[in-house]
Chain A
């Protein structure tokens, strides 16, 4: 092997070593994960919380919501995509389940860009009689403003065995004002109602 060739090998080896160090030390390598599930699990681990049981997952291309439960708490973390193929934590939003209430709920939004502001309303139902949750919303109204009945849209969620529910929408497309949250029994009777406006 001549000297020139040896020099070339050493130079390229050093270049690769440097590249390896840069990647390994970069936040993309240490902070992000390659799958949404791994990012969700890491988010909980580094928050000293969980591991939760994921009862439902919503896949919105660049964003995923993990509706989850852990012991006496529940959450609906947002996991988001970065730079095309990395996944990282968005928000956690952990709430304690209040067993004396029929429904414990929480809500929260997150702005991603000009096209997406993800809003979510989520909770858990403790009253066994409730089998459907409804959320009244109205488009284009401000809080406290009077909303005529015909402008109210009702979103509904049929409860499953896990007893959790999740409503989500994009605030940029649907500028919803939350009006009321209801719990209905199998006969369609309202047995829980909370005014949100």
Chain B
């Protein structure tokens, strides 16, 4: 991958977290950053989503922690753009891992379905 190139992977995966719905939208893989774009559709108004509880993991055993998140609020919920460090070379799939008290979920995302933009 060259500098400036990015791979955009469309996700469209729905995850139930308690009474809320999380919609994974896109994963952007670039040489200098990995970005996860998702929506949180809450059942009721309350605390904002704990983005830091979402980490990325690859099969080589690397964990990528959330560096920063940008959330925009809408009447339906939050649109969140979360930044992670760049992935190591040769990573073919990552697992999205949510760990928060006794709540957790995992979602595997294969990376071979993307297109270069």
Contacts and interface: CB of A to CB of B under 8 A. Distances in A.
A48 B17 contact: yes
Interface centre among A42, A46, A49 (most CB of B within 10 A): A46
A43 B46 contact: yes
State the majority secondary structure of interface residues on B.
Answer: loop
B44 A46 contact: yes
A42 B44 contact: yes
A42 B18 CA distance: 12
Interface string B87-117: 0000000000000111100000000000000
Given A45-B18, A48-B17, A73 B45 contact: no
B19 interface: yes
B74 interface: no
Interface residues of B, number: 13
Interface residues of A, number: 16
A48 B45 contact: no
A27 interface: yes
B42 interface: yes
A27 B100 contact: no
A47 interface: yes
A71 interface: yes
Interface in A25-39: 27, 30-31
Nearest to B103: A48
Interface string A46-73: 1111000000000000000000001101
B101 A31 contact: no
Given A45-B18, A48-B17, A48-B18, A89 B46 contact: yes
Interface of B: 17-19, 42, 44-47, 50, 100-103
